[in-house]
Amino acid sequence: MALVAGIDSSTQSTKVVVVDADDGAIVAEGRAGHDVTGTDGARESDPDQWWDALGEALAATGRAGEVAAVAVGAQQHGMVVLDDAGRPLRRAKLWNDTQSAPQAEALTEQFGGADWWAEQVGLVPVASFTATKWAWLREHEPDVADATATLCLPHDFLNLRLAGVAVTDRGDASGTGWFSTHADRYVDEVLDHLGLDRGQLPEVHRDGHGGEVTSDAADALGLTAGIPVGAGTGDNAAAALGLGVAPGEPIVSLGTSGTAFCVTRTAVTDPSGTLAGFADATDAFLPLAAALNCTLAVDRMATLLGLDREEVADTTDVVALPWFDGERTPNFPHARASLVGLTHRTTPEEVLWAAYLGAAWSLVVALERIQDLTGDLPADAPLTLVGGGARGTAWRRALGVLTGRPLRLPAAEELVALGAAAQAAAQLSGESPYAIAARWNATGGQQVPAVAVDEDARHRLATVTRALAELNGSDAAWADAPA
């Protein structure tokens, strides 16, 4: 029995699963936390803390010395800047840092608008993407930018510490803003404008191989020196891989943030910016939309109302958009939470149910945008729900009544780490990591039948988000949001 380790270095913590490479059984797990700091839109973490957390999580498994291969899945888009000795020059700016919203707007206009970006790069700049954060750094901390020898993503940083080489994959690279999913290469026009050289960026490995564990890393982590390191990928691509889903199967992940995505065989071009045309962890594509405000935002609303998170009404006439931290989908980085339609008779439970619907609506519109652009999502295809929110009855009901789709609730958890483990297993067997994940059957679990669509709720949500789109003067896709 060969054992492999899959790593999920997320915003809040590092999780490690030690997996039997033959059948996908998890034989050990470990976890360690991170801190996130920042105010006024800043969200930052110390990259060295991710490395320390990885050591703690591996030690907690008690099986690190038995692992035959390892791979990393990690939060996308974060910016890690290193000096010529590989040491962080500052705290990493994370995906949910919104300080670079002005730079995102400026980058979009620099190249003639959203159409150029969608066609040439595969995404339209928003504050989440790494390119905007680098532009922010050059403007606000030029000395740090000038001292940067290596610019990488969180998963690339851990690869560098593990294998001694800066390696990434096309899935994670596609979320930077300087890698084209269409052309499968770094985009020289963007790099030149940003003052970046390819030598400062990780090499994109398409064979899934990221090197071998160095003796220094082995000593620090309790691993065996020389075992293979998979190229790794970003968290959403790793989750899709962990599920082993076929193209055309919609997925919604409900965590601190929410994502809606689907594996497709063709690249997506969406000038509205609702969808980012990411690559997946292999040779396919992963059009995706991410909402900053998801389970944490709804939980915050429940706390404000003095309710348990499941204390929701059966119906509501209220529209709640719980955008406490600004929002990425739709692209309103300076938005705040809002309530529309309150009366003297409105109950707290009705407001909380409205918050679920409002948070879910961003993800529903994104799924329907994927269908509009690809035609790959049959109306009766089950919607796979993953993440912590998928365990919540109210979340399931919200996605059910807004989509009318049956729901699939995989029993497997830690899908990002499982996807990374599939990449690690592929280093031993030479198989496709998707084939390995499909054999592991992570999608097995509860099935929830389709329910009737709440057309009134959809109409209210569409009306309010259209009005906000007009007030913000942005995001044509949301001005035409489906009713």
pLDDT of 305: 97
Return the half-sphere exposure (C-beta side, CA atoms, 13 A cut-off) of residue 331.
Answer: 25
With cut-offs at 50, 70 and 90, classify the pLDDT of residue 445. confident
445 pairs with which residues across the strands? Answer: 410
Question: Strand 179-180 to strand 167-168: parallel, antiparallel, or no bridges (unpaired)?
Answer: unpaired
Per-residue pLDDT, 481: 59
Does the pTM surpass 0.75? The reply is yes
Does 251-294+329-404+453-479 carry CATH code 3.40.640.10? Answer: no
pLDDT (tens digit, 9 = 90+) per residue, 179-199?
Answer: 999 899 999 999 999 999 999
pLDDT band at 46 (very low <50, low <70, confident <90, very high): very high
Domain boundaries along the sequence of the chain = 3-234, 251-294+329-404+453-479
Answer for the pair 95, 179: CB distance below 8 angstroms, yes or no: no
pLDDT-based confidence at 207, cuts 50/70/90?
confident
Q: How many helices (H) and strands (E) does the chain have?
A: 17, 24
To the query of whether residue 283 is one of the catalytic residues in this protein, the response is no
Report the distance separating Cα 123 and Cα 40, nearest Å: 25
| Tens digit of each residue's pLDDT (9 = 90 or more) over 248-268 | 889 999 988 899 999 988 888
How many CB atoms are closer than 10 A to CB 27? 14
Give the model's pLDDT for residue 336: 87
Percent of the chain with pLDDT over 70: 97
Catalytic residue among 235, 270, 280, 475: 235
Residue 407 pairs in a beta bridge with 383, 448
**H/E segment holding residue 203:** strand 203-204
Q: What is the pLDDT of residue 294?
A: 95
- Which pLDDT band, with edges at 50, 70 and 90, does 478 fall under? low
Question: Which residue intervals of 164-246 are DSSP H helices?
Answer: 170-173, 188-194, 215-221, 235-243
- pLDDT at residue 475 is higher than 80: no
117 vs 96: CA distance, rounded Å: 21
The three-state secondary structure class of 280 is coil
CB atoms within 10 A of CB 452: 8
Range 341-358 average pLDDT: 97
Question: 3-234 has which fold?
Answer: Nucleotidyltransferase; domain 5 (3.30.420)
| pLDDT, tens only, 294-329 | 999 999 999 999 999 999 999 999 999 999 878 878
Rounded average pLDDT over 136-155? 97
Residue 233 clears pLDDT 60, i.e. is over it: yes
Q: Do domains 3-234 and 251-294+329-404+453-479 have the same CATH topology?
A: yes
Beta bridge partners of 276: 288
